[in-house]
Structures are given as C-alpha cells and as structure tokens.
Amino acid sequence: MATVSQPVSVLEALRRVRQEAATYRGIWSWIATVDHKRIGILYGVTAFIFLLAGGIEALLIRLQLATPNGDVVSPEVYNQLFTMHGTTMIFLVVMPMASAFFNLLVPLQIGARDVAFPRLNAFSYWTFLMGGLLLHASVLAGGAPNGGWFGYAPLTEFPYNPGHGIDFWAMGLQILGISSMASAFNFIVTILNMRAPGMSLFRMPVFTWMTLATAFLIILAMPAIAVALFQLEFDRLFGANFFNPVKGGTPLLWQHLFWIFGHPEVYILILPVMGIISEVLPTFSQKPLFGYPFVVFSGIAIAFMSFGVWAHHMYTTGLGPIANAAFGVSTILIAVPTGVKIFNWLATLWGGNISLRAPLLFAVGFIAMFVIGGLTGVTHSMVPSDYQQQDSYYVVAHFHQVLFGGAIFGIFAGIYYWFPKFTGRLLNEKLAQLHFWLMLVGFNLTFQPMMILGLMGMPRRIYTYPQGMGWDEWNMLATIGSFVIALSILVFMANVVVSLRRGEEAGADPWDGRTLEWSIPSPPPPYNFRRIPVVRARDDFWHRKYVEGPGGRPVPVVAGGAYEKHGHQEDEEHIHLPSPSYFPLICSLGLPIFALGFIFKDYALVAAGAVVILYGIYGWALEPATEG
C-alpha cells in the first residue's frame, strides 16, 4: 500500500506547487508561468547572461590579437572562442533579445491579454534555454565547437573534426530552431487574430509589424538550416556522404543551404530592432512616424528580398560570372528599402520636439552606426570589390556595424524605453548617458580599425599574425576599444541594480507615449487591460491625449488622457487568464536528453528523451485549460 500512498503524496505536493504557481509569487510561479510579460523578462535576462558570456569570449579574442604573435590562448582555444562568440551572439543574444521584446510588447501593443498560445510560448522559452545550455555543455564533453558559426563542411565533417563539439553545435542549433519556429507561429497567430477591436493592420504599431515580418522570415528560413544540420549529423554519426567529396558528396551544398538560412537570418536579427527604432523616434520627437506605409512596406520588401541574396556569401566559391552578377544586382537592390527606412527616420526627427533622453540617444546611435553597416554592405555587393573583402576583417567590421552598431544599440534603446513599463521605475539618466557615450566611443574604437585591417589584407579567423604586416597599431586600438565597450556594459548593469531599488517612479506614461502599452499601469497587471480597448486610430493612445488643432498642431484633450486605473476586485475576478503549466518545461527538458543520446550514440538515452517529450506533450494535451 505504501507504493500507492507514495504517488498520492507526490501528486499532493505537485498540487501545492501548482497552487503557488497560480499566486504570482515565488520561484514556482516563474517556472510554470505562461504570462507573456514574465516569459519576456525570462528571455531578456537569459539573453543578457549569454551576452556576458559572448562578450568575455570577444575580450579574449581581442587580447589574443592585441599584439603580433600573441599567446594568450592556444590556436585550438582561439578557434573555439570565435565559434562560440558568433554562435552565442546570434542565436543566444540578439534573437532571444528580440523574442523578449516580442513577448513583452506585442500583446500590449495590440490590446490583447496574452499571446494566442501561452503554453507554447513558455515552451519556446524553455527550449531556447535548453538549446543554449546544450551548446555550452560541450565544454564539459571535450571542448566547445570549433568550426565557426557557419560550420563549413567538410571541415566540420567527422574525419577533420572527430570531437563532439560540432555535434553539440548542430544539435544545439536544431533545438534553438524548434524554439524559434514555435515562437514565430505563436506571434503570427497572435498578431493576426488577437488584435483589439478597431486595430486594423494599418493601425498596428511598426514594432508589431516588424515582429510579424520577422516571424514569417523565421518560419521560411529555419527549415533550410534544419535540413543542412540533419545532413551534417547524418554524415557525422552514420557515415552518409552529403558533403564528402571523396564519396561523391558536395561541399558547396552546405554553403547554399546555410546561407539560404543565413542571409534571412541577418534580417531576422535586424528587423525587430528597426521596429524598436520606429517606436522610439516618434515618441521622443512628439511626432508620428514619417511615412508609416513606406516604413512598413520597406520592412516587408526587405523580408522578401532577403531570400534572393544568399550567394553573395559565396562570390569566391567559383559559381561563375552569371550567378555572381545576378546575386550582385539583387544584393545591391536590397539597399533601396533599407535606405528608405533611414530617410524616413531622419524625417521623423526633422521638425520634431526632440528629447535627448537615453532611448533617443541609443536610437540615434543606431541610425548613425547602422548606416555605415548598410553602406559598407553596398561595397560588398559590388562583386569584384568583394573578391578582396570576403573573409577579411573588413567583413567583420561591416557586420558588427549592423549587428552591434545596429542591433545592440537598438536593443538598448528598447531597454531604456520600456524598462519603466515593466518595472515601474526609470533607469538612472546620468548613468544611461555615460553608458551611451562609452559604448559609442568603444564601438568606434573597436570596429572602425577593423575596416582598415581588412582592407590592409588581414583575414578573419586567424589566431595570430606576424610582425611587419602593418596591422599592429590598429589591432591594439581595437582591443582597447573592446574594453571600453565592456566598461559601458558594467555601467549599464550598475544602472539596472541601482534603479530597480531606488529608481524614480515611472507612472503609466513617463515618455508621453503613443501606443497602447502606455495606457495601462506600470508594471502592467497580469491581465494587461481591464477592459479590452477599442482602437480608433494609429497611435491610438496619443489621440486619446491630444487632438490635432489648427495647422496640424496637437492640443491636449481637456480631460487629460484617460489612463487605465487598477480596477475593482470584482472586475478583475471575471477576467479569464490561462493557468500556469509545467508541461512546456517537461517537454523542453526531453529535447537535450534526446539530442545527447544521438551525440554519444546511446540509444537508451534517445529513448529516455523521447519518453520525456511524449510525456510532456501528453500531459499538455490533457491538461484542463483553466483551473477549475
């Protein structure tokens, strides 16, 4: 009988844990949460921790290259460092940072109480965490992956890379892909189906639009890398010959598949940030976004065109002049919609009433640095000039202008802008400004010298270089710059710690915001909107506060803008919210077990992983939708 009473008490314990989860207090309430705001915070905090890891890797790389013949790390460790730096920053920092913003903002911006599939949303987060942890677990199993974030075959094939690092890399990315796909479907359904009454597509905030475009990109791009990774693992684990030329395979097949994913990926990283910029600039200029339809359509155009430019990563693989010319022209053309966005942002600032607070500074930093990234991109698209630049430090400089000068500056603009919404407190402005200037100076010190290094013939991914190449001073500058960036990140962290405790109270609408998220209290209650708003205009909340007077100048509404107040207890009790659930986490836990089984060819482990996943899905399917 003891065997019977045991499960009962476990169930009893589980029930208590479930109850705690429902109270919105304590660790269990976070682990079982399906609230989009909490999932967003989990995404953001996790991505920030990975940012620190990737940043430390970058600092080690810069220390190694600070002087010629550096010996801070060995060649093997160096190769692991740049592989992990690239993989981490792309898949574990910028993508999940974007996910954090999608989660935090999309339901609030469209006037919804949560995403369409809250448990799937939790599953996306946990799966992202598992993928990231699996990738890093490689360090414990004989060494991190060392084939570069692009993992070119046949260098990543078994004969040239017999360790487990590449397997961890491939399986980790596969799991991260599952997370991204689940999240992308979720946000497409949410945006298309859960908008508040009156929120037509062309009244949606641009950030929500860019989320939608990004989600479609993810769905269309991820399968290509999934196929490539499956093929690689079949080659490595079972001796298939997809990429092995000795047995009739094709090394270039990997590159095509990888870049059919890889180029849209660049826009997966940057479109959400363009959305953030399109929110910050109007608010801090007190003017609507200039040419909303142009900004939206150029975003969609970029998303479409991004699938037709992949071979510009392969100009030097010998595709021949016809293919190179065609991809050269398509790549040149993608600069057009990108330029349109820049010009529209400038026109948004022009004639505004610009508040130079931290979110605006970072947004301006984004424009100023991203434009270098775009223009250097044009110099790459010019095929003959790229024959020189391909795989040189000029490329490293270029994409850091896009992904750091662009994406990271934009992400910080978003953090400073929305931090008060989700914590109720403003970040300290003085520290924020210090952070901005340190980062801007550090960024330029680090990456502009790399542009020169590349043009002076320094290839990427080299663990060292001899004296007498004329590269010494520029490398030293870049290393100094990287430590200035590190300092700026420390300032930011200090700011968060200080401001969470003693920061100025934000109130619902500290920036005179334009979109719906500013109409509800900070931090928002679990149910977001006590009453689902009825939307009458683009920038609906602004129009509740101001009417356009003569000459197009806004006049404050006499009633002073109706912020939503906390409702009465009776009101709140009638709001239907999804219940917390542990099954998404259980499901996610099975994935790395399953993957580890394949990595070590231990099929019992594969079976165990499969059982955990199936148990998670089964419990998930049979779980009642709401607590009874």
Partner 1 sequence: MGLDALRIDKKITFYLAIFLPILAVGLAGCGVDAPQNTFAPAGEVAEKQRTIFYMAMWPAVAILIGVWLVLVMALIRYRRRPGRPLPKQVHGNPVLEVAWTLAPLALLLGLAVPMVATVFDLGRNPKAEALRIRVIGHQWVWEFQYPTIMDEKGKPLTILGTPDRPPELHLPVGREIALEITSGDVIHSFWVPRLGGKMDAIPGRFNHMWLVINEPGVYPGQCAEFCGLLHADMRLIVVAHEEEDFQRWAQEMLARQSKGGG
- The dihedral through the CA atoms of 471, 477, 479, 485 has a sign that is negative
Under rule CB under 8 A, residue 364 binds partner 1? yes
Locate 459 and state its tokens.
């290839």
Q: In sequence order, what are the beta bridge partners of 546?
A: 556
Does residue 313 have an active-site annotation? Answer: yes
Does residue 167 have an active-site annotation? Answer: no
C-alpha 120/C-alpha 117 separation (Å) is: 5
Does residue 18 have an active-site annotation? Answer: no
Residue (308 or 567) nearer to partner 1, CB = 308
Using alpha carbons, select from 180, 85, 172, 79 the residue that is nearest to residue 133: 172
Site string for partner 1, 379-418 (x = CB under 8 A): x-xxxxxxxxxxxx--------------------------
Measured from the CB of residue 437, what is the shortest distance to partner 1 in angstroms? 6
Q: Which one from 195, 313, 380, 398 is the annotated catalytic residue?
A: 313
Footprint (CB under 8 A) of partner 1, residues 587-616: none
Residue pair 30/42 in contact (Cβ under 8 Å)? The answer is: yes
Q: Which stretch binds partner 1 (CB under 8 A): 115-123, 183-191, 328-336, 613-621?
A: 328-336
Using alpha carbons, select from 322, 313, 346 the residue that is nearest to residue 148: 313
Footprint (CB under 8 A) of partner 1, residues 284-323: 285-288, 290-294, 316-318, 320-321
Residue (75 or 197) nearer to partner 1, CB = 75
Binding residue for partner 1 (CB under 8 A) from 202, 350, 600, 603?
A: 350
Footprint (CB under 8 A) of partner 1, residues 232-251: 245-246, 250-251
Q: Which one from 62, 164, 341, 380 is the annotated catalytic residue?
A: 341
C-alpha 161/C-alpha 288 separation (Å) is: 54
Using alpha carbons, select from 568, 521, 538, 576 the residue that is nearest to residue 108: 521
Q: Which stretch binds partner 1 (CB under 8 A): 16-24, 264-272, 407-415, 465-473?
A: 465-473
Under rule CB under 8 A, residue 207 binds partner 1? no
Q: Which one from 250, 385, 437, 460 is the annotated catalytic residue?
A: 460
Q: Which one from 312, 425, 514, 538 is the annotated catalytic residue?
A: 312
Locate 40 and state its tokens.
């967003």
Site string for partner 1, 144-183 (x = CB under 8 A): ---xx---x-xx----xx----------------------
What is residue 554's three-state secondary structure?
strand
Residue (135 or 458) nearer to partner 1, CB = 458
Residue (86 or 521) nearer to partner 1, CB = 86
Task: State the first-to-last Cα distance of the chain, in angstroms, to the nearest integer.
Answer: 30
Q: Which one from 306, 338, 499, 522 is the annotated catalytic residue?
A: 338
Measured from the CB of residue 48, what is the shortest distance to partner 1 in angstroms? 25
Q: Which stretch binds partner 1 (CB under 8 A): 163-171, 227-235, 338-346, 571-579?
A: 338-346
- In which region does residue 565 sit, left (phi positive, over 0), alpha (psi from -120 to 50) or beta (all else)? beta
Under rule CB under 8 A, residue 336 binds partner 1? yes
Under rule CB under 8 A, residue 328 binds partner 1? yes
C-alpha 60/C-alpha 479 separation (Å) is: 9
Q: Which stretch binds partner 1 (CB under 8 A): 137-145, 448-456, 528-536, 587-595?
A: 448-456
Does residue 180 have an active-site annotation? Answer: yes
Q: How many Cβ atoms sit within 10 Å of the Cβ of residue 293?
A: 9
Measured from the CB of residue 580, what is the shortest distance to partner 1 in angstroms? 43
Residues 6 or more apart from 409 whose CB is under 8 A from it?
Answer: 362, 363, 365, 366, 369, 370, 439, 443
Going from the C-alpha of 217 to that of each of 13, 267, 268, the distances in angstroms are 43, 8, 7
Binding residue for partner 1 (CB under 8 A) from 43, 187, 261, 463?
A: 463
| Alpha helices by DSSP H, 424-549 | 429-455, 472-502, 540-545
Does residue 267 have an active-site annotation? Answer: yes
- The dihedral through the CA atoms of 578, 583, 587, 593 has a sign that is positive
Q: Which one from 203, 263, 425, 544 is the annotated catalytic residue?
A: 263
Footprint (CB under 8 A) of partner 1, residues 56-115: 75-76, 79
Q: How many Cβ atoms sit within 10 Å of the Cβ of residue 446?
A: 23
Measured from the CB of residue 177, what is the shortest distance to partner 1 in angstroms? 23
Measured from the CB of residue 557, what is the shortest distance to partner 1 in angstroms? 13
Under rule CB under 8 A, residue 460 binds partner 1? yes
Q: DSSP character for 208?
A: H
Binding residue for partner 1 (CB under 8 A) from 52, 139, 226, 375?
A: 375
Under rule CB under 8 A, residue 560 binds partner 1? no
CA 7 from chain center: how many Å? 42
Does residue 278 have an active-site annotation? Answer: yes
Going from the C-alpha of 510 to that of each of 263, 426, 429, 548, the distances in angstroms are 38, 8, 13, 22
Residue (365 or 616) nearer to partner 1, CB = 365
Catalytic positions, please? Answer: 85, 114, 149, 179-180, 263, 265, 267, 278, 312-313, 338, 341, 460
